[in-house]
Every structure is written in C-alpha cells, then in structure tokens.
Amino acid sequence: MVTGSAARSRAVSGAVGATLLAGVLTYVLLAIVSRSLTDAAFDRFSVFWALSLLVGFGAFAAVEQEIARASAAGADARTATRAPLRTVAVLAVVATAVAAGVGIATIGGGSTVMLVALAALGPVSAVQFLARGFMLGARRLRPYAIVLAGDAVLRVALAAAVAAVLAGSVGLADPDAAGWFALALCAAILLAHAWVLAGLRGAPRPAAIERRAASRAVVALLGAGVVSQLLLNAGPLLIEAADAGVGAAGAFQATFNVARIPLFVLVPLQGLLLAPFVRLFDHGERSGARRMLVRLVAAAVLVSLVGAVVAWAIGPWVVELVFGEGRALAGGLTAVLVAGACLNAGLVILTQALIALRRHRFASVAWLVALAAAVIGGVSAAGATGDMVAAVSIAFALGSAAGLATAAVELTRAASRPEEVV
C-alpha cells in the first residue's frame, strides 16, 4: 500500500524529472535555432528569447508563486487562481506593450512575424503561469510534470518543423526567419498550458478581500520578478542596443544559456520550494531553518568557485559543441557567467524562503540590491574595458553576489521573528 507521503514523493520526483527533461530539450531547441540562422538572425532571436523570459518569469512568475503560497496556506486552489485574474489581465496588456516596444527598439520592426510573436508574449505568458500556479496549488504534480514535458517536446517539434521549412527555401537570411521560430515558441507554450485552465470552471467566486489580498501579494512580488529577470536577461538587449557587432548578442546568449544550466532547472521548480518552506517555518522549526539556509549559502559560493574553474577550462568548447562554431565567448567571460549563475541560483532559493515567511517586500529588496550592484559594476566595467559583452557578464556576477548576501542577512533576521510582513 502506497502512503500519502510516498505518493507525494513520487509526484515531486516526477516534476523534477520533467523539469530536467525540459532543460535538456531547451538546449536541443536552441541548438536547432542557432544552427538554422545566420549570425544576424540569431541575434534577433536571442533578443526575443531574452524578452520571453523577462516577460514570462518577470511579470507572471509572481502569479504562480502567490497561488502556490496561498494554496499551501489552506486556500482552495481554484479560488486562489481566480483571485488575481484582474491583475493578470492588466499585466498581460502592459507586458505586451513593453515587449513590442523593446523589441522594435532593439531589433527593428522589419519583420511582421516577429511583431506578432512579440505581441503574443503577454497573453501566452499569462496562460502559462496561471496554469502552472493552479496545478501547484492543487498539488496536481503529475499533470504538472506532463505539462512541463509536453511543452518542451512541442517547442522542439515546432522548431524542427520551422528549421526544415527554412532549410528547403532561400529564407535563411530573411528577417522573418527568426520570427517564425519565435512564433513557434509561443504556439507551443499556449498549446501545452491552455487546456489546464478548464479546471477552473465552477470554481467559487473569490471574495473581494481575497482578490485584494492576491493583488497586493502579486504586486509586492512583481518588483522581485521583474528585477530578477532584468538581471538575468537584459544582457542580449543591452549588447544589441549598443551595436556591439554582428553575432555578439548571439554569442553572449549561447554562452549564457550553457552557464545558466542550474537556473534552467531551478527557476521552473521555484514554486515547488514554497510549500516545504511554509511547512518548515509554520511548524516553528526556525533553528533548523537557519542551519539549512547557512548550508545553502555556503553551497552556492562553493559551487560557483568550482564551476568557474571548470568553465574557464572547457566552457567555450561545450558552447560551440551545442550551438555551433563562433557562438562562444572567451573562457574568462564564460567562467564569470557560470559563477554568477550559481550565485543567482542561491539567490532564487533564498527569496523563495523569504516569500514563505511572508516577507514579500524583502524578497524584492534583495533583487533591487542585486540590480543596483549590477548597474554600478557594469558601468564601471564598461568604462574600464570598453567592451559591452564583458561589462554585462561582470555586472551579472556582481549583482547576483550582492543579492545573495542581502537575502541571507534578511533571512537570518526573519527566521527569528515570526510576525507577518507582506
């Protein structure tokens, strides 16, 4: 006979396995795109890819996190999902306008297909994260795993179809080539997630107080989401806007995609971290929580140092193996990006702990400190080196380190003070 805890353990293992599969298939997807496009077209797609992550995880991950947190605290998952719908609708409109505006400013408006893909980012991301939040809140981890895996498989399948069509035509240098890959990505996400929201039919209408509480929590988390994704994904946008040369944005994006392997695994799973942290803190095990958090910080620092050494030695070779010749940055910059990604992963975990403690605003503060440190470090590096790619790489690592330190300090204080601060 399978106990409830054993069944849940299996379900969590399935979700983790699906996330790992999705991470692997993400690299298959990006390899297909990289090897199908010219340097200039891959620069365009890299900007779109960065915007898709910025809009999705920046604007809407807060919705997933709040649904998961509220459900773990005892709210009905369907009601918790419906509560922030008005806020989500506003976010979708704003995200669409921002994505289209930034996309046109950085890569131009010469591709109608790319413009359609940019306009779709807001609504598609809203559906994606509402669905994920609902499944996590309802503890439907098996469907969650199926959706994650199905989304990744659909992305690869549609990208392969686009690549096959482009390979049989003369359109590789066409401005629309990158746009078709971008549109295929949006279609895959929508197909994988839209059906989940049918489970909201018949859900009790949330009370006004529940809607207001959900909106406040989402807005409080929104700053952390946007800032964290700016830190992670502004690089290609800045490099392309600075006109650092054809292929520069694509090479940075390809190298960073390899460097951020821990984040490709961790970020989709961050909602899963909330329920264990909520149980740990609500059951009064704060001394154990503090010991665990100290170990997490130490592990993040140690892994970043080891990862940097390995990346310096073999990082460029790995990047070119996956993405093709000429897509890698130098070993030193690869090492900086790997170290920054490991520190950033630690920051993601610690901010989930802050959210579980209902310190939403302090989670935002940690990310704001990270962004401020990145801006200061990036400007200084740009002035010293005159190299925008190097400046962006250094800024990311410095910002991640500063944010991790800030979150660790606040958690040490918060774990000994049980009062609620949203």
Range 307-316 average pLDDT: 91
Asked if the model's pLDDT at residue 170 lies above 60, the reply is: no
pLDDT higher than threshold 50 for residue 303: yes
β-bridge partners, 359 = 421
| Phi and psi angles of residue 202, each rounded to the nearest 5 degrees, phi first | 80, 5
The mean pLDDT value of the chain amounts to: 83
CB 304 within 8 A of CB 289: no
What tens digit of pLDDT does each residue of 173-206 get?
A: 566 889 999 999 999 999 999 999 888 877 777 7
Residue 420: what pLDDT? 47
Torsion of CA 61, 65, 70, 74, to 10 degrees: 130
Least confident of 8-17, 70-79, 385-394: 8-17
List, in sequence order, the alpha helices (H) in 260-359: 261-282, 286-323, 331-356
Tell me the mean pLDDT in the region 255-283.
Answer: 69
The per-residue pLDDT for 318 is 92
Q: Which two tokens stand for residue 99?
A: 């994505």
Give tens-digit pLDDT for 111-155: 889 999 999 999 999 999 999 988 888 888 888 889 999 999 999
> Residues 13-56: pLDDT tens digits?
777 788 788 888 999 999 999 999 888 889 889 989 999 988 88
Q: Which of 55, 289, 36 is nearest to 174 (CA)?
A: 36
User: Does 281 have pLDDT greater than 70?
Assistant: no
pLDDT of residue 269 exceeding 80: no
